[in-house]
Structure 1
């Protein structure tokens, strides 16, 4: 039986109150091509629970899981080994059901975990302060743009062409309901990022410059050069990190002058999970802390002098007057933050550096092998665990052919930037500690056959 708590009269009264003619008016901002206009093929109108389970299981068997064969997908979501203890600990009852501490002072365990998470993220990003997590990396990127606008009183953001296109699209989507101006471009297919082109787009109206590090092609931009150019125009430097394991091997964005650093924490403790839930990271300089979205947990002492934890700042619309809120999408991904924190604790600083070194070494070995395949050119001069190769034809065709053979070869630039023919031959390849020599050999052999 469907749950229908409202009558037609109730719905009509609600629509009249907000000035909408029909429920469809509430979805006018959703593009027509994204709306479901017909029933989902293959799903019956109704069936028994047993029949539904069997049907869904049959559909699931058509999927290829990340561990079923050679796996080189990355571009913002990475397959890393997660210790079994992470999953065991986050499923403890006191953690599993804890979404957010609305009566925080009685949730000391959750607050302490978030306090420690903030400390880990701040050190990792090289920032003075970090918040208690956000929804995911892409929405954290938009929050950084909005925060920079509040700080500078300007509403123009310059996005690097090598920013993940999904992150850029989130920023542009959110800017549609504001009067922000978003200046972006396409990535340049060259060994080094086009810093000069990005710097040329910074002017006296620019609130911030958004740069990914490493970028969508796996390259490492010079953040200090970009940051100096931004500061000369009174703009902030916002750095996006989609692969936090990289920060075990390369200098942190904060160390290189970033004002705000955001990122995706999925790589540590959080599985691929069909694209979510994931974990947004957010850090900044101390002087901007009151403009930072989300929550900030702090350490204090109680009336008896015992250590305790509190919500020091809470600037979301659920806690303060809506018009004073810094954001209304600053969801605290508490369980994913816990998984991240446990994995980081198990690794420690030494372990993270060792994991990063292993990722890089395996990626270098894979790049060398791929460079020896006839018709394959490795674009990058430098990279962490992800790099771009240029094929003689459309990379999407090679990806599809190899997928049919059980090899997930990478993410084609044609998929990330549809319709951009100049990028169509690019393939982003990610290599982590889960990648074996046999996996790389299988990819090389597959490409030799496909490109022959």
Structure 2
């Protein structure tokens, strides 16, 4: 039974106050041809709760469960083992003290966790300061672009062809409503990155260069020459990290000169949840801290001189001075940030490095196995736990065929770049510590069969 607290009289009064003649008037900005003309065909007008549960359960059984099938999907969302202790600890009351810690005296658990999270992210990304998280990696990248715009007072951003196309899509959408001009291109199915092209494209009008590390094809680029060229022209380097576990093995972007480092923290502490929620990472140089979006938890002392935590530099945010805010984001992905921080604490530096080594070793094992398949070529000269293979057939149908054989065999570039013939045979394969030698053997057998 639906709970509808408003009566017809209540709704009429509300419409009258806002000057609308009917509910339909509220949707007049939606083109008429996009509105439903009536009930959705095939759906009953109503059903009992038990009937709906039975129906949804039947639908769920059609899914292939990651833990029950070899899993090699990646491209920004990775399957790692999350210890059961993470879920246990995030439910403790001292951490879940409040949603919005505007009253620090009753939110010390939340604020301290955010402070520790910032410390972990700053060290991981190689920067001096990090915020208390963003919504996800793609929106964090956009916030970095407009932050660079504010700092350099320029509006031309060069985006590497190796940046995730969904991240680029978010930036293009947001740029429709700003003065920012984005220059982006498609990747080439080769082991070489576009580093030289990026450097050649930098000029006196460039605000920032955006580079993914490792990139969408799993390639790892040396950011130092790009940072040097950008700085020489008065521009900033923005690095995007979609797989933070990689930083347990490869040099951090901040160490190589990146001015702003953003990314997706889902890999650490947050399982795959049908598309979210995720947690955006954002770090920068201390000299840019007042231009950094989002929340910042700081350390202080109370009236008795005891250590305490508060939100700091809040005048940058929407809820203090909306018209002059550095960003309209004034919240964070607190629960996912908590899970990230707890998992990082459980791992420690040594554990993270060991986890990264295991990921790389598994990926090398898979790459060596797949290259023995006639017609299959690994394009990468270097990679962490994700690499791209060029198939003798179109990759998207091959992925679907492998699903029928019980293997989630990777992400096709045809899915990420629909209609681009030069990329349609590319298949991106991610291998983490959750993949066994038996899983890799099953992937090889399935791929070998579908490419014949």
TM-score (norm 2): 0.94
Indicate whether 1:10 and 2:14 are aligned. yes
Counterpart Cα distance in 2 of 1:382 and 1:315: 44
Deviation at 1:313, TM superposition (A): 2.1
The equivalent residue for 1:128 is 128
The equivalent residue for 2:156 is 156
1:24 to 19, 24, 27: 27
Residues 296, 43 of structure 1: CA spacing in aligned structure 2 closer, same or farther, 3 A cutoff?
same
Asked if the contact 1:315/1:327 (under 8 Å) is kept, the reply is no
> Secondary structure of the residue that 2:313 maps to in structure 1?
strand
Counterpart Cα distance in 2 of 1:312 and 1:184: 36
User: Structure 1: which 5+ residue stretches go unaligned?
Assistant: none
Residues 110, 62 of structure 1: CA spacing in aligned structure 2 closer, same or farther, 3 A cutoff?
same
Counterpart Cα distance in 1 of 2:361 and 2:11: 63
Asked if the contact 1:135/1:330 (under 8 Å) is kept, the reply is no
Counterpart Cα distance in 2 of 1:32 and 1:443: 45
The equivalent residue for 2:391 is 391
User: Structure 2: which 5+ residue stretches go unaligned?
Assistant: none
User: What do residues 285-316 of structure 1 show as CA deviations (whole Å, max 9, x unaligned)?
Assistant: 00000000011111111121111111112256
For 1:164-183, what aligned pairs fall within 5 Å after superposition? 164-183=164-183
For 1:187-336, what aligned pairs fall within 5 Å after superposition? 187-314=187-314, 317-336=317-336
With 280-289 and 46-55 compared, the bigger mean Cα shift is at 46-55
Asked if the contact 1:293/1:315 (under 8 Å) is kept, the reply is no
Counterpart Cα distance in 2 of 1:249 and 1:39: 54
The equivalent residue for 2:106 is 106
Residues 145, 26 of structure 1: CA spacing in aligned structure 2 closer, same or farther, 3 A cutoff?
farther
Asked if the contact 2:223/2:257 (under 8 Å) is kept, the reply is yes
User: What do residues 123-145 of structure 1 show as CA deviations (whole Å, max 9, x unaligned)?
Assistant: 00000000011101110000000
Asked if the contact 2:317/2:330 (under 8 Å) is kept, the reply is no
The equivalent residue for 1:72 is 72
> Secondary structure of the residue that 2:99 maps to in structure 1?
coil
Counterpart Cα distance in 2 of 1:117 and 1:189: 37
With 98-107 and 390-399 compared, the bigger mean Cα shift is at 98-107
The equivalent residue for 2:444 is 444
Deviation at 1:27, TM superposition (A): 4.9
For 1:331-342, what aligned pairs fall within 5 Å after superposition? 331-342=331-342
Deviation at 1:171, TM superposition (A): 0.4
Asked if the contact 2:412/2:427 (under 8 Å) is kept, the reply is yes
Counterpart Cα distance in 1 of 2:403 and 2:42: 23
Asked if the contact 2:319/2:330 (under 8 Å) is kept, the reply is no
Asked if the contact 1:100/1:334 (under 8 Å) is kept, the reply is no
Residues 335, 408 of structure 1: CA spacing in aligned structure 2 closer, same or farther, 3 A cutoff?
same
With 78-87 and 223-232 compared, the bigger mean Cα shift is at 223-232
Counterpart Cα distance in 1 of 2:5 and 2:317: 29
Residues 14, 180 of structure 1: CA spacing in aligned structure 2 closer, same or farther, 3 A cutoff?
farther
Asked if the contact 2:97/2:110 (under 8 Å) is kept, the reply is no
Asked if the contact 2:315/2:321 (under 8 Å) is kept, the reply is no
With 188-197 and 92-101 compared, the bigger mean Cα shift is at 92-101
Asked if the contact 1:269/1:340 (under 8 Å) is kept, the reply is yes
With 401-410 and 190-199 compared, the bigger mean Cα shift is at 190-199
TM-score (norm 1): 0.94
Deviation at 1:14, TM superposition (A): 2.8
User: What do residues 236-294 of structure 1 show as CA deviations (whole Å, max 9, x unaligned)?
Assistant: 00000000000000000000000000000000000010010000000000000000001
RMSD over equivalenced CA pairs, Å: 2.2
The equivalent residue for 1:49 is 49
Deviation at 1:9, TM superposition (A): 5.1
Deviation at 1:331, TM superposition (A): 3.2
The equivalent residue for 1:373 is 373
With 202-211 and 88-97 compared, the bigger mean Cα shift is at 88-97
Deviation at 1:37, TM superposition (A): 7.4
Asked if the contact 1:158/1:198 (under 8 Å) is kept, the reply is yes
Deviation at 1:205, TM superposition (A): 1.4
Counterpart Cα distance in 1 of 2:42 and 2:170: 31
